Structure 1
């Protein structure tokens, strides 16, 4: 019987790191962001992309969506996530010439953990911050030795208490109060006679005008269950559909334009339909020329001629005037 080799190490299970040390073109990212439990993977990837871009780069929603295989809706949703957790701030400033400029600030740590950070861009912090132990390049992070769950998200430290403001003293003398005048009580009013309740008001003219558009929007869920709209959304979108119908667009054509080629990540159908109703609005039809006058038979020579009413033609009218 062959002897067993007890010195052979068993194959490890789980993650194995095969890292190469980076010397150029790398970005330092903290584990609090890479292992954040409340941020989606798209939001974490967007935060990593923003940290890797140089200062002054264009980071609008359209510019970011052009660089990654994500839609503008998902990029906008990821930016809102980063803003909610303190990794991103978007500001709008008015320039001296009156124009509005957008400023985007990307924090490598949540803003709540840096009470000394300036509230506006361009202002230097009061003191440099020591780097966190976990903020090292991903290639230099040692492999974890335990198989337990990842560490929880760091909680922001409590903000220092605000000192009470000193009481303000006024040196001006208080104005004298005006004299109080007594008003005699008014006599009791006789109760109003019982009047029959008024009829409930009918629908306003605008509601009757948009009734066909509201019914069309309610039928959209029959074409696609993802286009289920609330009553409030239908009342808000009905005026835009009415414009289509008043431009003599057939209701079936409106349904086809609104329900065709829906995106896979449709999360807000009301906003999507409002965008289509405004961007795909067809132009009004050109004005038709007026219809010509009908043919009439002349009472004098029995010749046909065009006129709005029966009578005599142009050749017979001068003779009629001379006979008179």
Structure 2
């Protein structure tokens, strides 16, 4: 008997049976360096990761407000606002407010390509290589762009509150008014700053609860946190105007004085005689 001959060549063995295969080519212009701490962030949503990548690629001074971003993308204002808050919570974005000389208040936008926690981790000393071998860094095919200076005065992102606050209690208690408004603890922490802003503007908690629970749709609420975030952002009342300093004294009555002639009390800016005594003296 003769051995069987194979006519078809064997299939080449692939290094990976499944999963992604990368075809990488170097970029020499029109590119943005994004760290894996952002691209593979375990807690950020895909919307937040994509939005952070887009913001880091924009030129300095480009507006990144909710309406400006919603005009570019199809996600809509609610999802974009939620993604911006995620980036603030994890240190990739800061939006401090500053008062201008004209008295107006504007919001600045500061993008961090590496959060403070990642900066501190990168500044830590490297571990000694094992077996006494010197560590050889991999060469960079493309020189990285100059790092963006991080302002020293930029505020740290606010940590999640350890103790319940009035705003957090209000959010957690919304489910007593409507079971569909049951929030996860993470959503309560994320929405607490927005409710605190309402409280700081003098809105009573009962009014905030009514604004968040009245007029709800009859259909099942799939994303209660997104619904509440939209209402807190779009229905935020303005600050209570401060009356001028002279307004408090404009209608203040004159102080009581004792008449020098009849000892009767009367109102006048300075001591003296009442109107009757002044009239009698003029007739005499």
TM-score, normalisation: structure 2 = 0.44
Larger Rg: 1
TM-score, normalisation: structure 1 = 0.40
